[in-house]
Amino acid sequence: MLDHNIPRQVSSFLGGLEVVTARSQRWDALRNGDLIKVAELAGFDVMLTADHGILYQRDKATRMLSLVVVSTNDRPLLMSHGEAIRAALCRAQPGSFEAVFLGAGRGVRKQ
């Protein structure tokens, strides 16, 4: 699932993955913890977001939704690092968190 802060065009480089946006689910008014809860209840496995504060809104012990957090929501930068983002989404395990840093300080951090 793409959080509402990720441009929907990003789904174009996620071929092979089923991509749904928070906006298409009419969840774009939900924030952090509430969004995680409804996404999990709806059966989503992983959420791509640029919201760095979302990590603090989830209960790591009970959550199954994986989070991939990118360092920016700049569409050209996201599109130029599509492979790294797609790889992070494919590596996601239930309840995992992975930060993908794009640009000059690019790298990956897993938790």
pLDDT at 62 over 80: no
pLDDT tens by residue, 94-111 = 989 999 998 754 444 554
Between 61 and 33, name the one with better pLDDT: 33
pLDDT at 84 over 50: yes
Q: Hey, how many other C-beta atoms are within 10 angstroms of the C-beta on 67? A: 23
Q: Give the DSSP letter string of 54-109.
A: GGGGS-TTT---EEEEES---HHHHHHTHHHHHHHHHH--TT-EEEEE-STT-EEE
Between 110 and 48, name the one with better pLDDT: 48
pTM confidence score: 0.86
- Provide the pLDDT confidence category of residue 52 given band limits of 50, 70 and 90: confident
User: Across residues 6-16, what is the average pLDDT?
Assistant: 86
CA-to-CA distance for 91 and 31, rounded, in angstroms? 25
Q: Hey, how many other C-beta atoms are within 10 angstroms of the C-beta on 88? A: 22
